[in-house]
Amino acid sequence: MNIIDIINKTKRSEALSDEEIKWLVAGFTDGNIPDHQMSAWLMAVCFNGLTERETFSLTMAMRDSGDVLDLSGFGKITVDKHSTGGVGDKTSLIIGPAAAACGVAVPKMSGRGLGHTGGTIDKLESIPGYRTDLSFDEFSDIVRKTGFSIISQTGKICPADKKIYSLRNVTGTVDSIPLICASIMSKKLAMNADCILLDVKYGSGAFMKTKEEAQVLASLMEKIGRYAGKKCRAMITDMNDPLGSNIGNALEVAEAVEILQGRKKGVLYELCMDITANMLELAGKGSLSECRTMAEEAVSSGKALDILRRTIELQGGDGRICDDISLLPKARFSHEIRASHDIKILSVNSSEIGMASLILGAGRLSAGDSVDMSAGIVMNCHAGDMVSEGDVLMTLYSSVCSDFSEAAVRAYRAVSFCSI
């Protein structure tokens, strides 16, 4: 086979065979195909797309570039969940313990944040002592004991995806639905859970900006999962507003704990109960309405919180944060943004709020950047709220940034409102 022929075929929208795609992925992963030639092929995909068959072949070739886990020893149906990312998305910290409390196993690998989208691993590492770099045996032991664990992605899972994504990130080839699908689904299929629930987000704070784009991606990922023999379902959810009130690592852990304590309801709680119910229904635990009731009872009874506490402790963390969120990292500096007059909130631009949080130190622009675990924003307003003069719209927090002027301007401009 010849890389030039493969590039030209995709450039002419001619379908590649399974063997050609396997050869391409293997050759790039082991270094025989250089970056500049792989970049040319990725750009051709961005312009011309791939067929469903090609997308499936690419996904499986990327999956098979590394380890495929064996989760058969848990004695329970395994359910994995993936979100396409957003601002304030701490759903995994809530739905994992809730689903586990209902009798399924939720073994999950997650990544770190980059840009304005936070990473689940960063959030968990804000818990004092919490370890995410566990061996597979340690990970498996925790899942057997509690039904739930989240660890960081290992280099042995989908090395092809890691290398291809790094190249896409610097060559302007990220925004291709077949490539996005293959990247996500190769990792999910390498985890090898029985069921996969996909939370595909759209809006200002998501990668897919319109509901229509999200539906196309969701449909393709569902098909790829089913072609691979998995029970797979995608939900389309809104990320125009930040999800919940807290944005930033320790702040988001605190909000997740408050949800599991039964102290907070609202949009975040409702979404998490919907996701958990869909996970349970996929796993055969009952009808969707029955599973929704089970999910709510897992929270109201305190069972889900107990599972989170026990999992934290088994991963070396301070489980007392489940009873006392003040034990989480606290910011040295804070700044309140108040309403100058009576207003109605029309919308909140999630992406801009995420960027303001990034300025405060809550995220990273490049993989090697350090993160201020205490930094972030607590929103006191959401779309549709009526706010009186002098009321706090949001509070900014940081331990590394004492001058809030840049972040405050960006955060304030993220809020659209009209006078009342």
Residues designated catalytic: 82, 161, 168, 183, 187
Q: Which amino acid is at 6?
A: I
State which H helix or E strand residue 415 sits in.
Answer: strand 415-419
Q: DSSP per residue over 329-395, as a string?
A: ---SEEEEEE-SS-EEEEEE-HHHHHHHHHHHTSS-SSTT----TT-EEEE---TT-EE-TT-EEEE
- Residue 293, number of CB atoms within 10 A of its CB: 14
Angstrom distance (rounded) from CA 415 to CA 272 = 25
- CA nearest to 379, candidates 365, 367, 364, 391: 391
Angstrom distance (rounded) from CA 285 to CA 282 = 8
For residue 60 the two structure tokens come to 């499986």
- CA nearest to 110, candidates 184, 218, 200: 184
On the 0-12 / 13-18 / 19+ scale of CB atoms within 10 A, 324 is: exposed
Angstrom distance (rounded) from CA 9 to CA 45 = 10
